[in-house]
Amino acid sequence: MQLLPSLLILVPFCGGQDEWEAPEYCRGSPCPQFTVVNKTTDFEERVYVATAWITTKIPNLTAYDLIAASARLKSVAGHFDAWPVLVNVTNGKEYSLSWFVPPYMNIPEITDPSVQLEIRPEVNVYVRVFRGTPSIDQGKLNANELCKSLRKAGKTFSTERYAGAAYESYFALTHHNEVWIDKTQ
């Protein structure tokens, strides 16, 4: 009986201090690990650890091209459970679609030249969250809003690129979406 209190005290340490607790909106699926280093009412700044992605270019930002891009990623990696799905927009005219690849997952050798496995080094990003069914227009709108907030706050950030992140299937009932803009020095 005397052992009990000390056992109870020990329990919280057994989780391991380095274990990262994924946010609720990942809904138990693997998602990239980050730390929030600053937070305002308009945006937060996160530091993401180095992460792996499979990426394919999208010729044009249409639903048709997005579906075709998803099919290319799927044919390389199969279907796996991880979020987010990222649409990367560079200079307002180059687009790509990326799937987060969890650290323990092995992607088979990629033979499709239109798909790349890339390691994104650790990065600071500014993030704005938005709700509702994700769309290209909503992504653009929220990227503009984030841009304005960052200017107002005197932050330095990439003006070339933003990414829209979705954490659930298009057909889900509720949505947590984000826009990401890289911090620059």
Ligand X SMILES: *[C@@H]1O[C@H](CO)[C@@H](O)[C@H](O)[C@H]1NC(C)=O
In the complex with ligand X, the residue whose CB is nearer, 56 or 96, is: 96
Q: Which of 20, 35, 50, 62 binds ligand X (CB under 6 A)?
A: 62
Q: Which of 27, 72, 120, 183 binds ligand X (CB under 6 A)?
A: 120
Copy the structure tokens of residue 152: 């107002």
In the complex with ligand X, the residue whose CB is nearer, 19 or 137, is: 137
Q: What are phi and psi of 7, to 5 degrees?
A: -60, -45
Q: Does 88 sit near ligand X (CB under 6 A)?
A: yes
Q: Does 53 sit near ligand X (CB under 6 A)?
A: yes
Buried residues in 133-148 as b, exposed as e (16+ CB within 10 A): ebeeebbbebbeebbe
Q: Which of 35, 90, 114, 184 binds ligand X (CB under 6 A)?
A: 90
- The structure tokens 């994104």 sit at 120
Distant-in-sequence contacts of 139-147, Cβ < 8 A, 24+ apart: 139/87, 139/89, 139/164, 139/177, 139/179, 140/89, 142/177, 142/179, 143/89, 143/179, 143/181, 145/42, 146/42, 146/43, 146/179, 146/181, 147/181
Q: Does 146 sit near ligand X (CB under 6 A)?
A: no
Q: Does 153 sit near ligand X (CB under 6 A)?
A: yes
At its nearest, how many Å lie between ligand X and the CB of residue 65?
8
Q: Does 92 sit near ligand X (CB under 6 A)?
A: no
Q: Does 59 sit near ligand X (CB under 6 A)?
A: yes
Q: Which stretch binds ligand X (CB under 6 A): 21-29, 77-85, 90-98, 100-108?
A: 90-98
Q: Identify which of 129, 137, 132, 141 has the alpha carbon closest to the alpha carbon of residue 165.
A: 129
Q: Which of 40, 75, 114, 184 binds ligand X (CB under 6 A)?
A: 40
Q: What are phi and psi of 76, to 5 degrees?
A: -85, -45
Interacting residue ranges for ligand X, rule: CB under 6 A: 38, 40, 53, 59-60, 62, 86, 88, 90, 96, 98, 120, 153, 161, 163
